[in-house]
């Protein structure tokens, strides 16, 4: 490696990180979110009301931070997670879900977003088992009431989860919820 190339590589490393850091600051300023705090205990209560088996829900923290569903929809629309090209192993369902959760935490301090793991997919017409899947669920308030939402991070589609046991019809399949990892 020439001295010149070495210098260029060093510069790209610094520049790349600075662009990301500044980009995060721009996004924070543009969305200007008012992040609300709640507790794991409160969220467990909401989940219990939806017939969620709490053994299937993992929490890393005692407190969680969330915004309104209007703000979440705006963020989701602008976030580029869904625009990535699907690629087996490298960029498939688990990677879309990881990326969305980490974007929300790193950029906005919104942590009430979970990886939704081991979702079972069924054919909408025949009810036949198709595959296992990963996506996201998150908490966001609507008119001051905290609700649970399901996000398909590959398509930006969001629906409210009214009951854990209901199959979610989205993106051409029926999704049967399983483990939530907050």
Residues engaged in binding Ca ion (CB under 5 A): 79, 82, 92, 94-95, 156
Residue 25 Cβ vs Ca ion, minimum distance, rounded to whole Å = 20
Nearer to Ca ion, 12 or 86 (CB): 86
Distance CA 124, CA 167 (A): 10
The CB-of-88 to Ca ion minimum distance in angstroms stands at: 8
Q: Which is nearer to Ca ion, 43 or 140 (CB)?
A: 140
Rounded to a whole number of angstroms, the minimum distance from the CB of residue 6 to Ca ion is 33
Nearest approach in angstroms of CB 118 to Ca ion is 14
Shortest distance (Å) from residue 115 CB to Ca ion:
12
Residue 94 or 166 having the CB closest to Ca ion: 94
Judged by beta carbon, residue 141 or residue 152, the one nearer Ca ion is 152
Residue (79 or 141) nearer to Ca ion, CB? 79
CA distance 117 to 132: 9
Q: Which long-range contacts (CB under 8 A, 24 or more apart) does 156-159 make?
A: 156/76, 156/77, 156/82, 158/69, 158/72, 158/73, 158/76
């Amino acid at each position: 490696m020439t001295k010149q190339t070495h210098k260029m590589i060093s510069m790209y490393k610094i520049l790349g990180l600075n662009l990301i850091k500044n980009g995060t600051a721009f996004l924070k300023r543009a969305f200007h979110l008012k992040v609300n705090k709640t507790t794991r205990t409160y969220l467990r209560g909401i989940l219990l009301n939806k017939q969620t088996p709490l053994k299937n829900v993992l929490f890393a923290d005692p407190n969680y931070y969330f915004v309104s569903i209007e703000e979440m929809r705006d963020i989701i629309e602008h976030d580029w997670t869904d625009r990535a090209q699907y690629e087996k192993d490298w960029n498939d369902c688990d990677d879309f879900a990881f990326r969305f959760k980490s974007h929300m935490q790193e950029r906005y301090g919104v942590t009430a977003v979970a990886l939704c793991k081991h979702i079972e997919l069924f054919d909408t017409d025949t009810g036949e088992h198709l595959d296992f899947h990963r996506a996201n669920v998150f908490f966001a308030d609507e008119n001051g009431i905290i609700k649970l939402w399901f996000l398909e991070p590959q398509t930006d589609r969001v629906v409210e989860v009214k009951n854990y046991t209901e199959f979610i019809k989205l993106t051409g399949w029926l999704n049967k919820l399983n483990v939530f990892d907050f």
